[in-house]
Amino acid sequence: MNYTNQGYHASGHAIMNIFPQKRTLHSCLITRPSYLLFTGLPPTVFDLLHPDFVQDALYSSAKRQKEHAVTCQPETRTKILSDIRFWADSATTTPICWLTGPAGTGKTTVAHTIAEEYANRKQLAATFFFWRKTEDRDDINKLVATLAYQIAKKVPSAKEQMEENLKLQDAPWAPISKLSLEHQLLNLILNVNPSDPNLIVIDGLDECVSREGICQLIEWIRKNKSPFRFLLTSRPEPELKACFTPGLGACAEIFGLFLLQSRRTTFESTSSSNLRRFG
Q: What is the pLDDT of residues 140-160, one digit of tens each?
A: 999 999 999 999 999 888 998
Q: What is the pLDDT of residues 211-225, one digit of tens each?
A: 999 999 998 888 888
Looking at per-residue pLDDT, the higher value among 247 and 203 belongs to: 203
Are 162 and 30 within one domain? no
Q: According to the model, what pLDDT value does residue 225 have?
A: 82
Q: How far is CA 135 from CA 35, 59, 66, in A?
A: 20, 16, 16
Looking at per-residue pLDDT, the higher value among 190 and 212 belongs to: 212
Are 261 and 206 within one domain? yes
Are 10 and 106 within one domain? no
**How many domains does the chain divide into?**
2
Q: According to the model, what pLDDT value does residue 118 have?
A: 97
Are 36 and 56 within one domain? no
Round to whole Å and give the CA distance between 14 and 45: 21
Residues 6 or more apart whose CB falls under 8 angstroms from that of 83 comprise 257, 266
- Rounded to the nearest integer, the mean pLDDT of the chain is 78
Are 86 and 110 within one domain? yes
At residue 32, does pLDDT exceed 50?
no
Structural domain for 24, as ranges: 1-41
Strand partners, 9: 2, 37
Strand, coil or helix: what is 154? Answer: helix
Q: According to the model, what pLDDT value does residue 252 have?
A: 77
Total length of the chain:
279
Are 96 and 188 within one domain? yes
| Residue 162 lies inside a defined structural domain of this protein | yes
For 144, what's the count of Cα atoms within 13 Å in the CB-facing half-sphere?
28
Query: Strand runs (DSSP E) across 141-224, as ranges?
Result: 199-203
Q: According to the model, what pLDDT value does residue 176 have?
A: 85
Strand, coil or helix: what is 82? Answer: helix
Are 132 and 222 within one domain? yes
Angle formed by the axes of helices 143-154 and 156-166, to 10°?
A: 130
